[in-house]
Amino acid sequence: MRRSLVIGNWKMHGTRTSNRELITQIQTGLNEGQNCDVAVCVPFTAIPDASATVANSTLRLGAQNVANAEQGAYTGEVSVGMLSEYDCQYALVGHSERRQIYRETDELVAERYEYAIKGGITPVLCIGETDEEREQGKTFAVIDEQLSAVINHCGIDSLSKAVIAYEPVWAIGTGKTATPDQAQEVHAYIRNQIAAQNADIAEKLIILYGGSVKPENAAELFGRDDIDGGLIGGASLQADSFLAIINAA
Ligand code: PEP
């Protein structure tokens, strides 16, 4: 039985003051007996404050990216060791905004994934097709390509230490959510592809859905067999809507 997971992705939002308020509101609003794990991936500069706030609580902390090296001349990057000092447990890798705006390739994403795992942080590998790719019937081919880049680089066993987020690019920040059937179809495909190589890892793997999840659609999405929770962008920026989504998990 997989335990649900809900992760907020704050992207590049907030101020020091507003981010402190938001994390405190989320932490205060979590039920003691909540039956899902919850994390927030905050901007790098918010990590120290957030780390102090979530200490001794069930709320977990994550980063929005991680370097593909341990240390050295990598201007602008933040290493897994640096994140671990602040008790980050997760790092997003391969978010579509990184792939599209910053041209991160499958190879670079696989290296970031590798360094997260080596450093003891759970990579949340984001994969998903664009609108055009879906229309051209390439959804599964894109999933195969993005997934196999990581499996070829780090091996199938690495997925026992990772989380996957299926995020159709056309659904991110657009208000256009995948239907539960569309999402379940791709989640099942991902699990089956992995099961073909290792059934036990596939069975235990947490696969999140991301893309315009809101309190109104969360329960139906999370109710599907292979959808183990969500990666939440916009709706994680308000404590009320994020908490409502957590309650739906
Ligand atoms: C995301 O950025 O990972 C995301 C899912 O965003 P949104 O929920 O705003 O679509």
Centroid of ligand 1 to alpha carbon of 234 (angstroms): 6
Read off the DSSP letter of residue 61.
E
The answer to whether residue 187 is catalytic is: no
User: Can you list the residues of the chain whose pLDDT is less than 70?
Assistant: 32-33
Question: Distance (Å, rounded) from C-alpha 179 to C-alpha 38?
Answer: 23
Cβ atoms of residues 60 and 90 within 8 Å: yes
**pLDDT at position 175:** 85
Which H or E run includes 206? strand 206-210
**pLDDT at position 51:** 97
Q: Is the CB of 210 under 6 A from ligand 1?
A: yes
Domain ranges of the chain: 4-9+33-248
Centroid of ligand 1 to alpha carbon of 173 (angstroms): 5
Structure tokens, 63: 């980063």
Out of 97, 111, 129, 167, the active site residue is 167
Q: Would the pTM count as exceeding 0.75?
A: yes
Centroid of ligand 1 to alpha carbon of 209 (angstroms): 10
Atom 1, ligand 1: residue with shortest CA distance: 233
Question: Distance (Å, rounded) from C-alpha 247 to C-alpha 98?
Answer: 29
Centroid of ligand 1 to alpha carbon of 237 (angstroms): 11
Atom 4, ligand 1: residue with shortest CA distance: 233
CA angle 187, 175, 108 (to 5 degrees): 55
Which CATH number fits the domain 4-9+33-248, given the four candidates 2.40.100.10, 3.40.50.300, 3.20.20.70, 3.30.70.100?
3.20.20.70
Q: Is the CB of 233 under 6 A from ligand 1?
A: yes
The answer to whether residue 129 is catalytic is: no
Which atom of ligand 1 is found nearest the CA of 126? Answer: 3
